[in-house]
């Protein structure tokens, strides 16, 4: 009788515990996502580049960073009440030109909600 390999399968049960940690957003992973923005934006200091600094973004009314020359579309969006928070940012990143029609931000958008959650966790480090 061959009963040598009967007990090997026991370790399989550990595989099911992996999926539960994506909701909160991971700032380290977000730093990687931010590379898509970093050609145009800085988040860890208050300097404008091609785009306005994203330092202290959450809570900011759209189109109001000092010293940046926004499109009238972005300024008008701010006047109409657009304030950056995780929800409005997610909307904007899904499709910038749909959320702020006429924005001069030349970015196709970010579709993946996990990437956006991670990016938000990253940006939160630099907001109050
Ligand atoms: C090709 C350059 C470019 C890239 C890439 C880019 N942006 Fe922008 N972004 C801009 C410009 C330019 C503006 C100003 C838009 C306007 O005035 O209409 C802007 C505006 C913004 C604003 C509004 C800020 C404010 O002060 O109202 C946010 C938020 C923003 N970008 C986030 C992001 C994020 C997050 C990414 C990466 C996922 C990103 N952007 C990628 C160029 C870029």
Residue 22 Cα to ligand 1 midpoint, Å, equals: 25
pLDDT of residue 24: 80
Q: For a substitution probing ligand 1, which of 87, 91, 105 has the most ligand atoms within 8 Å of its CB?
A: 105
pLDDT of residue 8: 52
pLDDT of residue 66: 96
Tell me which residue has its CA closest to atom 37 in ligand 1: 37
Residue 23 Cα to ligand 1 midpoint, Å, equals: 24
Please identify which residue in the block is written with the tokens 């109001």: 64
Segment 72-99, tens digit of pLDDT: 999 999 999 999 999 999 999 999 999 9
User: Dihedral sign, CA of 66, 68, 72, 76?
Assistant: negative
User: Dihedral sign, CA of 43, 53, 58, 94?
Assistant: negative
> Residue 15 CB: number of other CB atoms within 10 A?
8
CB-based contact 107:15 (threshold 8 Å): no
Which residues in the chain show pLDDT less than 70? 1-23
Q: Which residues surround ligand 1 with Cβ inside 6 Å? A: 36-37, 39-41, 50-52, 54, 57, 60, 62-63, 65, 70-71, 73-74, 84, 89, 93, 103-107, 110, 119
């Amino acid at each position: 009788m061959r009963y040598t390999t009967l007990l090997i399968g026991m370790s399989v049960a550990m595989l099911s515990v992996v999926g539960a940690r994506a909701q909160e957003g991971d700032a380290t992973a977000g730093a990687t996502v931010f590379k898509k923005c970093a050609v145009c934006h800085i988040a860890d200091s208050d300097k404008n580049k091609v785009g306005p600094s994203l330092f202290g973004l959450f809570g900011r009314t759209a189109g109001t960073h000092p010293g940046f020359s926004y499109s009238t579309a972005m300024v008008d969006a701010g006047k109409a009440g657009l304030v950056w928070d995780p929800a409005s940012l997610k909307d904007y990143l899904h499709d910038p030109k749909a959320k702020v029609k006429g924005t001069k931000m030349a970015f196709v958008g970010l579709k993946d909600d996990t990437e956006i959650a991670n990016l938000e966790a990253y940006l939160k480090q630099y907001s109050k």
